[in-house]
Amino acid sequence: MAAAATPTVGLTTARTFISSLHKTLMSRAAILSTESKDASMTRLASSSHISLSHSFLQKPNSVILKSKRVVATKAVSSENETSALPGLPIDLRGKRAFIAGIADDNGYGWAIAKSLAAAGAEILVGTWVPALNIFESSLRRGKFDESRVLPDGSLMEITKVYPMDAVFDGPEDVPEDIKTNKRYAGSSNWTVKELVESVKQDFGSIDILVHSLANGPEVAKPLLETSRFGYLAAISASSYSFISLLQNFLPIMNPGGATISLTYIAAERTIPGYGGGMSSAKAALESDTRVLAFEAGRKHKIRVNTISAGPLRSRAAKAIGFIDMMIEYSTTNAPLLKELSAALCYVNSAEEVGNAAAFLASPLASAITGTVLYVDNGLNGMAVSTDSPILEKLHAAKEK
């Protein structure tokens, strides 16, 4: 009888063990289900533990871990579906930018200011003295409000506008006829040295310097007809002015800062009609960018880059006299074809140049210096024009 009772006791013990284990597993399943935010996943986890309870006799731990992984994966997946995707935002909050050469709202300088502001930077502006009153009046009257709108719907704020004439390094360089000129009356401290001192007194330091100014009094003349005065004036206003600004701003620029200037493809390729020494001035600017990148980088940890932008029908560009033809040529022949804007008539958006400048000024470009960045829809890479009759004879492919 004793021998016959042994299997019964063993079976009873096994059943008791299975029942106890089943309750334990059900308890663990309940705990897992409360950790899940997905109700349907809770039911799935619970039913899985019930149906697999027999398997737990051999490998309970591995199954429990697997079930936990399923619940966790589902929870993460659900969370990712509702959260924003990760990215590399351009964050310039806490940075201060000085943009030299803004006199209205339709140039590249304005577009750069907007992009920097959209990224969180504080904006200071330097405006040519004769244009200062009109610019400030337009700001006060809300004339620029529509073009001040940032991506978040707010308006770009310009903390302060400074009078500026970057042709003159200091008061001692200003000739008498300029000192007595009515267009300069009422303004003071507008030479480069005085300007930087004013910014230093007001704000202490800056992080970003943008050079967005150029002038060639004889730009409409072929180079062969350009006078010494016209040639040197173009170099002074369009190229050396950047050296002067950087030279004086460097002592109050925070390490890790950036400077950006604007150049044009005429620095490297022949653009008939872009005369008066302006192509030479742009070539000098690009060469200076490389040299200054070394000097400012080694001494002050400041990056120096320039953007070669496509043609824009800005107020300054109209002085050339054929800007619309250049825009049409670019629109036709650039690798990236874009329709002209009826309002501003540009081949590549000023906003795109502004965004490129924001990138160059940001930590995302911390290893980029001494570079010419082309923002021209790829026109710089073209060796021939696609609308040439010769190419038609050769059956060249065209984008319709």
**Catalytic residue ranges:** 239, 282
Closest Cα to residue 302, out of 267, 252, 342? 252
**Exposure string over 48-63, b if 16+ CB within 10 A, otherwise e:** bbeebbeebeeebeeb
DSSP 267-305: GTS--TT-TTTHHHHHHHHHHHHHHHHHHHHHHH--EEE
Segment (H or E) for 136: helix 129-140
Alpha carbon distance 136, 298 (integer Å): 38
Q: How many CA atoms lie within 13 A of 359 on its CB side?
A: 12
Segment (H or E) for 307: strand 303-309
Report the 10 Å Cβ neighbour count for 82.
6
Residue pair 237/267 in contact by the 8 Å Cβ criterion: no
Q: For residue 79, is it left (φ>0), alpha (ψ between -120 and 50) or beta?
A: alpha
In the numeric block, which tokens belong to residue 377?
A: 């829809």
Alpha carbon distance 294, 314 (integer Å): 32
Alpha carbon distance 167, 178 (integer Å): 11
